[in-house]
A and B are shown apart, each in its own frame.
Chain A
Amino acid sequence: MVELTQERTVDRSHMQVSDEVAIEIRNMNKWYGTFHVLRDIDLTVQRGERIVICGPSGSGKSTLIRCINRLEEHQAGDIIVDGTELSSDLKNIDKIRSEVGMCFQHFNLFPHLTILENCTLAPIWVRNTPKKEAEEIAMHFLEKVKIPDQAHKYPGMLSGGQQQRVAIARSLCMKPRIMLFDEPTSALDPEMIKEVLDTMIELAEEGMTMLCVTHEMGFAQAVANRVIFMDQGQIVEQNEPTEFFNNPQSERTQLFLSQIIGH
């Protein structure tokens, strides 16, 4: 765990939660073959919310956020993202994916393209942005994640932390309204975790709607306005962070927290 609050104060002035619904998940169920991986998930995310999802491995937390941009298909229930319902309609799926940014545990940058090309690819091909404009946008976000000088290198030449920041910039270039983070720091060395979390905190300070699967409880305390604990494919407990960490209600949550805070 990296302690963030000691080193920087988080500016909460722009972190306002609006009444507008960004994501609505109703009674959603998913099976992998015969394995019931997500059970009766109900979740409403308001615009501007920062939600941290935690839980033991295999609890379905990654699967849940991967359902939101249809990297995984759900079999029952509804998912409505930004007013568009996720169905098997390919055009809807592509539309939602272009509105929802995603960062992966292993970055998934495209190794055959430069950093800049990684960032301009989707704006050019999905949004039909002119190349020059797309490059300006890309440079803007690369500066934001503090690696503009690496723009012409290939991903393989960068450190893990830099790669993850590029991945964040790549998603931001599509001007997404929602960002999903799937364990963004789990594959990183301790000293690189901080640089990625700093970038994510900055994003939160600007009011981005974020869903974040992570084990970084310091991050959860600093920026989240809701922490969700999942186990066995179900939402076991959700609460605002101080209450969640100081006064967990369910036994399962208490056990989980004692295990990750304990060491």
Chain B
Amino acid sequence: MSDTPVTYVRTQMLDQQAPPTSEVGPVRWMRENLFSSPMNAILTILSLYVVYVVISHVGPWLVNGIWDADSLSECREIIAATGDGHHSAACFGVITARWHQLVFGYYPSELYWRPVLALVVFLVGIAPVMFPSLPRKLYIVTMAAPFLCFWLLWGGSIWFPIAIALGFGVGVVAHKLLDANVSSLAGMIGAILLPLIYWLYICGPLAGGLASIIPLGIEFVPSRSFGGFMLSIVIGLSAIVISLPLGILLALARRSDLFIIKTCAVVFIEVIRGIPLIVWLFTAQLLLNYFLPPGSSFDLTLRVIIMVTLFAAAYIAEVIRGGLAALPKGQYEGADSLGLNYWQSMQLIVLPQALKISIPGIVNTFIGLFKDTTLVVFIGLFDPLGIASAIRATTEWNGIYWELFLFIGIMFFISCFSMGRYSLYLEKKLQREHR
């Protein structure tokens, strides 16, 4: 036994002290992330060198870029006149000179306000869906937006989009009447079949008749005038907006207990998914008219939109099916035990949760879909890449490529990156709310 006393009483409390400089701020960050070991230090220095080399080559080219030239030769003259002859410079003049063409394609320049207005209508329509805190009255715009945008973009008689919209009214009325008076299955079949019959046989003559009685409309713009980013956005956004509800229905159908509905969904999804998009686009271009009733010649852009939509819907359906499968069985049973019917439990309980789980997958599919719209260049539509080829074929800009493709790439990146950010925002928001 030693004599050291075991008891100890602190007489003075220690104040908090600042940590050593190597443990805070940028110094610590660099030590941890860049120079944590000799190997890492070497790699860091090597990477910095690579970054330097790239920037020192590309930087001046970007910074010295010529923005006001009307042709490639003019641009080169300016570079030769200003530089010392050794420095390269980009000819961004092609973007300023052909800006309208890159954005609107061959859309008549006096009608540029129409696609712009259509975009505004679309954004107002989509706003209440994306940000639920906005007033619910905006949903009126959401419902009208598809038809209004269609009419603004293509023009023509106003009766045609109205007649198409009436088809949905036919569906709702048919569902209500049959569901109440016959059975819920009859209501469902009626809600699908009657509008289809209406659209195929009544819609056209009705719109034509109304147009001949009260001719009301704006100048018609054919699809071949569509081009540039406007075309990508029209195809991409239509496909995104339509494929989501379609994909949800397909996913529900694939999990249905009804054999025929389930089989149809499985066959549809597997066939669409199993064949490359470009094949479907060629089908849209060459074959689709054979399947439509005789006499109805369908616009090529519309055909492409339909094909891209169906293609995306098949993917979305599978993504959402994953979300549905991830939901515990108890949620379905909880909804059932309260007496909610199938559609109520789907709408109120199952889909909100399944969609939340599926958000990353859905947005991933949308981003892929938006980029895939560039494939339409192969069936002769002038998407940004098609326009770029057309610009490069002119005498003024023959020989330019980096600047155009860089610009197109950046535009696509901005669109896709913002979609990705929105999905992150949504995920975080829902996470917060449900916790």
Contacts and interface: CB of A to CB of B under 8 A. Distances in A.
Interface of A: 69-71, 90-91, 94-102, 104, 106-112, 121-122, 125-126, 154, 156-157, 170-171, 174
A125 B343 CA distance: 11
Contacts of A170: 338
B344 interface: yes
Contacts of B338: 97-98, 121-122, 126, 170-171, 174
B244 to A, nearest CB: 19
Nearest to B432: A154
A71 B352 contact: no
Closest 5 CB pairs of A and B: A98-B339, A108-B334, A122-B338, A108-B330, A97-B339
B330 A106 contact: yes
Interface string B327-367: 01011011111111110100011001100100000000000
Contacts of B353: 110-112
B352 A126 contact: no
Interface of B: 184, 328, 330-331, 333-342, 344, 348-349, 352-353, 356, 430, 433-435
Contact of B352 (A96, A112, A125): A112
Given A104-B330, A106-B330, A121-B348, A112 B434 contact: yes
Q: Which of B342, B433, B434 has the most CB of A within 10 A?
A: B434
Given A71-B333, A90-B184, A154-B434, A110 B349 contact: yes
Nearest to A96: B339
B334 A125 contact: no
A109 B335 CA distance: 9
A110 B333 CA distance: 11
Contacts of A91: 184
A182 B203 CA distance: 54
B337 to A, nearest CB: 4
Contact of A97 (B328, B337, B342): B337
A110 B334 contact: yes
A143 B352 CA distance: 28
B333 A157 contact: no
Nearest to B335: A110
Contacts of A111: 353, 434
Contacts of A122: 338-340
Contacts of B339: 94-99, 122, 126, 174
Contacts of A96: 339
A95 B435 CA distance: 33
15 contacts: A94-B340, A95-B339, A97-B336, A98-B339, A100-B337, A104-B330, A106-B330, A108-B330, A108-B334, A110-B331, A112-B356, A112-B430, A126-B338, A154-B433, A174-B338
B433 A112 contact: yes
A125 B330 contact: no
Contacts of B434: 111-112, 154, 156
Contacts of A107: 330
Nearest to B430: A112
Nearest to B356: A112
A98 B328 CA distance: 22
Nearest to A101: B337
Contacts of B344: 125-126
A238 B311 CA distance: 60
B334 A71 contact: no
A101 B335 CA distance: 11
Contacts of A101: 337
A94 B184 CA distance: 13
A104 B336 CA distance: 12
A51 to B, nearest CB: 18
Contacts of B331: 108, 110
Contact of B334 (A95, A98, A109, A174): A109
A71 B337 contact: yes
Given A112-B353, A125-B348, A71 B340 contact: no
A96 B344 CA distance: 16
A239 to B, nearest CB: 29
Nearest to A66: B333
A97 B338 CA distance: 6
Contacts of A98: 338-339
A71 B331 CA distance: 12
Given A104-B333, A104-B337, A112-B430, 11 more contacts: A69-B337, A70-B336, A71-B336, A97-B337, A98-B339, A108-B337, A112-B353, A112-B433, A125-B348, A170-B338, A171-B338
A155 to B, nearest CB: 9
A71 to B, nearest CB: 6
